[in-house]
Structure 1
Amino acid sequence: MNPEMNNHYREIILGVGENPEREGLLDTPKRAAKAMQYLCNGYHKSLEEVVNGALFESDNDEMVIVRDIELYSLCEHHMLPFIGKAHVAYIPTGKVLGLSKVARIVDMFARRLQIQENLTKQIADAIQQVTNAAGVAVVIEAKHMCMMMRGVEKQNSVMTSSVMLGAFRESCNTRHEFLQLIGRGK
């Protein structure tokens, strides 16, 4: 545990006009610091550790998609949550990635202070790096608390970001197939 971080949360409580000695707030600095460390645990992981050798020989050269991977991240501008789902696809070239590793790669990057646009690219680049795929596609759809709870207060807005690499960028048909399979193509 980080005592310095606990003290910072205590100062925040004071700064908003509350009494950190109030019964309900006595352990809040410690709990908040622990929660923040958990929410940002992606900084302590590497791609190599996350993949852990789970790359397997395969003759498959057809699109592999993992849809609706829930993600929770913190916006780097306000440190408020954004919550959504990622859809990740790749076209193998002799090796496939263990299924859970796709979700773990999403989590590793989501568990950092982020903007959604960078998160989308980081996931795509990591999948490409690990698999050497013929193409990678990532679409993220998320609701941002910084837009819902403050500022313009738009409750139903959803941000969509995408990154297309290789065959997904070069081929309209490949991109269209992916978007249709995740329910976004027309």
Structure 2
Amino acid sequence: MTGFDRPRIEAAVAEILAAIGEDPSRPGLETTPSRVADAYEEFFAGLGKDPLAELGEPVPLEGHEAETVILRDIQFRSVCEHHLLPFLGVAHVAYLPGERVVGLGRIPRVIETLAARPQLQERLTEQIADSIEHGAQARGVLVVLDAQHECVTTRGARQTESSTVTIASRGELAEPAARAEIVALIGRGVA
């Protein structure tokens, strides 16, 4: 990851520990700055990466027109940019291929790349839809994210069972009837 400054992160974590009244050098905390830096390097590995590169080259359909392709229950994690706390969830992606399709394993890579940066769930949903629409040259795209945010479940209102659902649709799947059909096929009862 370009721009990742481990010593600066470690110093900042030590400062936070001191600022809350802890001794960053006490046993149990002495390696915390390094561990947090390791976690941040992983959490933010998508910074500077192009999600379209993860799709690779779409493969021609060879004279056939594919109908809807749906990938359900793609697990993801991201970090809320407001509180720097994780949010975890599942993504459901549907697309109508144009003349080409993308490898099914490539769509989760797009999601992982976009999620591995400070995010808002609403923006993440839109970015996934845009990436698949453009990178796959899709006639239509529908993305549904369902996630639990630790900023809601562990602080403030502490709503431990709540989740947030966001939807983005493009092209032919933005039409209300097509959108409703795909949401029903996803089988989660969200609309």
When normalised by structure 2's length, the TM-score is: 0.92
In the alignment, which of 43, 46, 70 is matched to residue 65 of structure 1?
70
Letter aligned with residue 126 of structure 1: S
Quote the residue 2:35 is aligned against. Answer: 31
Contact 2:142 2:168 in 1 (8 A): yes
Q: Percent identity?
A: 40
Q: Is residue 88 of structure 1 aligned with residue 93 of structure 2? A: yes
Give the Cα–Cα distance (whole angstroms) in 1 for the partners of residues 127 and 54 of structure 2.
14
For residues 3-41 of structure 1, the C-alpha deviation after alignment (integer angstroms, 9 at most, x for no partner) is: 111111111111121111111111110110111111011
Give the Cα–Cα distance (whole angstroms) in 1 for the partners of residues 56 and 96 of structure 2.
20
Give the Cα–Cα distance (whole angstroms) in 2 for the partners of residues 120 and 99 of structure 1.
18
Query: How many residues are aligned here?
Result: 184
Give 1:185 shift: 4.6
For residues 93-147 of structure 1, the C-alpha deviation after alignment (integer angstroms, 9 at most, x for no partner) is: 1100111110001111111111110000000000001111110000000011001
Quote the residue 2:183 is aligned against. Answer: 179
Q: Secondary structure at the match of 1:6?
A: helix
Question: RMSD over aligned Cα, in angstroms?
Answer: 1.4
Quote the residue 1:56 is aligned against. Answer: 59
When normalised by structure 1's length, the TM-score is: 0.94
Letter aligned with residue 163 of structure 1: A
Q: Secondary structure at the match of 2:28?
A: helix
Contact 1:176 1:185 in 2 (8 A): no
* Bigger share in helix: 1
In the alignment, which of 122, 130, 133 is matched to residue 135 of structure 2?
130
Give the Cα–Cα distance (whole angstroms) in 2 for the partners of residues 37 and 112 of structure 1.
10
User: In structure 2, do the counterparts of structure 1 residues 165 and 180 end up closer, same or farther at CA, with 3 Å as the change threshold?
Assistant: same
Contact 2:51 2:114 in 1 (8 A): no
Give the Cα–Cα distance (whole angstroms) in 1 for the partners of residues 139 and 53 of structure 2.
23
For residues 141-186 of structure 1, the C-alpha deviation after alignment (integer angstroms, 9 at most, x for no partner) is: 001100111111111111100001111112x332122111111359
Q: Is residue 13 of structure 1 aligned with residue 2 of structure 2? A: no
Quote the residue 1:121 is aligned against. Answer: 126
User: In structure 2, do the counterparts of structure 1 residues 134 and 24 end up closer, same or farther at CA, with 3 Å as the change threshold?
Assistant: same
> How do 1:123-162 residues align onto structure 2 when only pairs under 5 Å count?
123-162=128-167
In the alignment, which of 90, 109, 115 is matched to residue 110 of structure 1?
115
Q: Secondary structure at the match of 1:43?
A: coil
> Where do 4+ consecutive residues of structure 1 move more than 2 Å?
none
Give the Cα–Cα distance (whole angstroms) in 1 for the partners of residues 37 and 188 of structure 2.
38
Give 1:51 shift: 2.2
Give the Cα–Cα distance (whole angstroms) in 1 for the partners of residues 125 and 170 of structure 2.
12
Structure 2 gap segments, 5+ residues each: none
Structure 1 gap segments, 5+ residues each: none
